[in-house]
């Protein structure tokens, strides 16, 4: 009887989130008619902007940029293996130039996305291999001060494997940027005018419990380490190392991470100094 109870408990426990990392696109999917709600907060600090390479190609030219983004993402399972998500961010941005300072508060770019699971193999109640393809677009938010007012389509692939206490996710996403040269001096990475390739790897380790039982299957703590990369077709490349912590329960999760640059080959925009991310996830 004790074994049966443990199996039932595990079946309804933590795999609803399946060790999803904060800054890496996950291969998880909500079931049909299930909704994930993800309020998140991110903060970036950028350093001195790039020096203009020529009089006709303006560089970033800033003395520093601070950018905060509270957002809410709603993801809904439509049918088996297919989901739709909508992310709505607000942007609070402070740009300091040699002769002026600009403070902006506005709706950011709305992110619409469809995700399709193309592979799933569950070898136990916890161990799994999953893969998804996804596609979407960044839509105009209404204020050119904080984001380009263009439609930028993107497509990507994500795969994850969970074995015991360890989970690994790999995601690749390519965005076609349509903002053109008008946004070059404001670009903070991925906004344009160059196309952007985002490549992320996430490692998750379950710190506690060491093994799930009927008594402790309701919650778990994970240590995370992400490698978050952004390459732009103008040659800029930046890689962050992002350690973090994740707490998962049956119906919600809480997480945070701090990203620090370990590779920074940036010549067309302001270099990132650090990134802070935090979020909650709820299942309905």
Structure tokens at 69: 């983004």
Report angle CA 235, 240, 241 to the nearest 5 degrees. 150
Structure tokens at 251: 């119906």
Strands (E), the chain: 35-46, 64-79, 82-96, 101-107, 110-122, 128-139, 152-163, 166-175, 196-208, 219-232, 237-249, 252-265, 272-283
How far, in Å, CA of 21 to CA of 246, rounded? Answer: 8
How far, in Å, CA of 37 to CA of 199, rounded? Answer: 24
pLDDT digits (tens, 9 = 90+) for 134-147: 999 999 988 888 88
Of 226, 278, 218, nearest in space to 254 by CA? 278
Is the pLDDT reported for residue 161 higher than 90? yes
Of 37, 34, 2, nearest in space to 253 by CA? 37
- 162: β partners: 128, 167
In CATH, 2-283 is 3.20.20.140? no
Q: What's residue 236's pLDDT? A: 94
pLDDT digits (tens, 9 = 90+) for 180-239: 777 777 888 988 889 999 999 999 999 999 888 777 778 999 999 999 999 999 999 999
Average pLDDT of the residues of the chain: 88
Contact 245, 224 (CB under 8 A): yes
Is the pLDDT reported for residue 271 higher than 80? yes
Q: What's residue 102's pLDDT? A: 84
How far, in Å, CA of 258 to CA of 139, rounded? Answer: 27
Q: Give the position of tokens 């040659």.
A: 235
- Cis bond before residue 253 (omega within 30° of 0): no
Q: Give the position of tokens 């991470």.
A: 257
Q: Give the pTM.
A: 0.90
Structure tokens at 17: 């989130």
Q: What's residue 14's pLDDT? A: 46
Q: What's residue 95's pLDDT? A: 87
| Phi, psi at 13, each rounded to 5° | -90, -135
Q: What's residue 61's pLDDT? A: 66
Helix (H/G/I), strand (E/B), else coil: 57: strand
Q: What's residue 31's pLDDT? A: 93
Residues 264-268 have a mean pLDDT of: 91
Quickly state the pLDDT bin for 101 (edges 50, 70, 90).
Answer: confident
pLDDT digits (tens, 9 = 90+) for 16-69: 556 899 999 999 999 999 999 999 999 999 988 765 544 444 445 678 899 999
Is the pLDDT reported for residue 91 higher than 80? yes
């Amino acid at each position: 009887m004790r074994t049966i109870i443990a199996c039932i408990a595990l079946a309804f426990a933590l795999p609803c989130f399946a060790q999803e990392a904060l800054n890496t696109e996950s291969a998880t999917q909500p079931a049909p008619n299930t909704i994930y709600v993800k309020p998140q907060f991110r903060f970036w600090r950028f350093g001195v902007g790039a020096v203009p390479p020529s009089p006709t190609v303006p560089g970033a030219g800033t003395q520093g940029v601070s950018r905060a983004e509270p957002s809410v993402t709603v993801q809904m399972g439509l049918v088996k293996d297919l989901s739709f998500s909508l992310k709505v961010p607000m942007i609070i941005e402070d740009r300091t130039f040699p002769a002026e300072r600009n403070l902006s508060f506005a709706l950011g770019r709305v992110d619409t996305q469809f995700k399709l699971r193309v592979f799933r193999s569950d070898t136990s109640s916890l161990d799994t291999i999953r893969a998804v393809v996804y596609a979407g677009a960044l839509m105009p938010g209404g204020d050119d001060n904080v984001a380009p007012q263009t439609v930028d389509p993107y497509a990507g692939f994500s795969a994850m494997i969970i074995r015991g206490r360890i989970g690994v996710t790999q995601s690749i996403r390519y965005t076609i940027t349509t903002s053109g040269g008008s946004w070059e001096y404001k670009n903070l990475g991925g906004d344009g005018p160059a196309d952007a390739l985002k490549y992320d790897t996430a490692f998750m380790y379950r710190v506690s419990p060491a093994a799930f039982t009927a008594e402790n299957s309701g919650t778990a703590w994970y240590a995370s380490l992400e490698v978050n990369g952004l390459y732009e077709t103008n040659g800029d490349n930046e890689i962050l190392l992002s350690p973090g912590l994740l707490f998962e329960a049956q119906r919600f999760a809480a997480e945070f991470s701090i990203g620090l640059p370990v590779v920074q080959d940036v010549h067309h925009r302001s270099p990132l100094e650090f990134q802070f991310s935090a979020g909650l996830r709820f299942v309905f």
